[in-house]
Structure 1
Amino acid sequence: LQLKMNEGRLTYDKPQPTQKKREYPWRISVVILGTVCLCLLISSIVFGYLFFQGTSKFKIQCEKDANKNAVSSKEVVDPSALPPTTGKGCYKCQGRWFCCGEKCYYFSEEEKTWDESEASCRLLGSHLAKIDNREEQNFIQSRLNYSYWVGLRKKGGQFLWVHQEDEKISSDLDFHMTTHLADAACGYIKPKLLNNAQCSRLFPYICKKNFTCLLTSENW
């Protein structure tokens, strides 16, 4: 107690309880900041792991695709090493070959002259495609978006299939001969018809060979 004299009277002041100093919330801030940092660290580890897994799977798939392409190239060059087909269905083969029964077709992407196209087919152990009948013509045309060279060429005033033995065009083929161009001596096929053009024009081409090829699980 604190005694005071005030105009002859004795008074006293009751001491006030001392106030505790207010603590700053720095401890709470530290806890929150630590929690956030821990969450960020865990997130970084998780994302890093997922990224590593994704790149590893992509690399493995690329290696598989590269090996598959290497095998496909060997199969195209050496068709005798391939297993026989089963059934009469049409299938997508490995590489750029497509088979229907024992007939296999190669649809090129590059554009060449007729002679260059025939030379490229020979490098693949085949020739520019010879179309035997209307059914085969319809089958090929159903898979076309552009014009493609085939093994048709003008000889002695008439168009013949010239890949092995000169053979006349089957009468049931839908062949529309262009007559206004004297040098339109080579045949090509497009989605709607079989036609002729100058041999120096640039078209992709279709090779054909009667051999069996390795089937994939993907049917046409």
Structure 2
Amino acid sequence: MEGSRSETSAAEASEEIIYTSVKFSPLRAKAAQEKRAPCLWPAVVRGLAIGFGILSISLAIALIWKMSDTHPRCPEQWVAYRGSCYSFSKEKKDWNSSQESCWAKGAHLLVISDAWEMDLFKSIQTECFWIGLRNSPGSGWIWEDGSELNGIKVLSNSPVQCCGVLMKGQLQASSCEFSAAWICEKSLR
């Protein structure tokens, strides 16, 4: 029996469970982590954000550039205002020659179509400019586009003054043979 007892205690000893405790120190864990390769995520995320920002700005600029190319523009030396382009001549001609000069540019002599446009051109306090206004016998003052002049008086000294000029902020009648500068107008559309 003794032999079997020693075998039993050896078996019991081998079945003992050994416990051990492991303590992790946060400082040591951090130090161990720093010894490994550094984490690149913050740098990658920052780089991606900058890249997407630059791409977004580039696309916005390209879109604005494209939109500006699709919108009609006034020719050089012309002034844009509320959907129209205006050209102020530097030379002087009679009314008919001024009209032909505008037509050659794909435009017409100025036709003042509303109060805003009238106020704008009345504010011009310079010499006279031919505009697209004529006195038609029996019909009165007619704009070049066929519309009637309404609610505005044209200053006239003589019945032979049949062409309209804009002079010192007022509409005035003049002989059509008089030499004056002129204002051409064309639509942006």
Letter in 2 for 1:153: R
Letter in 2 for 1:160: I
What are the residue-to-residue correspondences of 1:31-180 with 2, within 5 Å?
83-84=70-71, 95-157=76-138, 158-162=140-144, 164=145, 166-171=146-151, 173=152, 175-178=153-156, 180=157
Displacement of 1:101: 2.3
Alpha-carbon spacing, 1:138–1:121, altered in 2? closer, same or farther (3 Å)? same
5+ residue gaps, structure 1? 1-81, 87-92, 213-220
Letter in 2 for 1:195: Q
In 2: Cα distance, 1:102 partner to 1:135 partner = 13
| Partner deviation per Cα, 1:26-65 (whole Å, 9 max, x = no partner) | xxxxxxxxxxxxxxxxxxxxxxxxxxxxxxxxxxxxxxxx
After superposition, the CA RMSD in angstroms is 2.1
Alpha-carbon spacing, 1:103–1:170, altered in 2? closer, same or farther (3 Å)? farther
| Partner deviation per Cα, 1:6-33 (whole Å, 9 max, x = no partner) | xxxxxxxxxxxxxxxxxxxxxxxxxxxx
**Structure possessing the higher radius of gyration over alpha carbons:** 2
Please give the secondary structure, in 1, of the residue aligned with 2:181: coil
Structure with greater proportional helix content: 2
Aligned residue for 1:182? 159
Conservation of the 8 A alpha-carbon contact between 2:110 and 2:183: yes
Displacement of 1:156: 2.2
Alpha-carbon spacing, 1:192–1:143, altered in 2? closer, same or farther (3 Å)? closer
In 2: Cα distance, 1:109 partner to 1:205 partner = 8
Structure with greater proportional strand content: 1
In 1: Cα distance, 2:120 partner to 2:147 partner = 21
Conservation of the 8 A alpha-carbon contact between 1:85 and 1:101: no
State percent identity of aligned pairs: 26
Aligned residue for 1:72? none
Alpha-carbon spacing, 1:182–1:96, altered in 2? closer, same or farther (3 Å)? same
Conservation of the 8 A alpha-carbon contact between 1:152 and 1:159: yes
Please give the secondary structure, in 2, of the residue aligned with 1:168: coil
Displacement of 1:135: 1.8
| Partner deviation per Cα, 1:170-190 (whole Å, 9 max, x = no partner) | 32x4x3331x41210000102
Number of residues paired by the alignment? 120
Displacement of 1:85: 6.1
Letter in 2 for 1:188: V
Letter in 2 for 1:170: N
Conservation of the 8 A alpha-carbon contact between 1:133 and 1:170: no
In 1: Cα distance, 2:130 partner to 2:110 partner = 8
Alpha-carbon spacing, 1:144–1:123, altered in 2? closer, same or farther (3 Å)? farther
5+ residue gaps, structure 2? 1-68
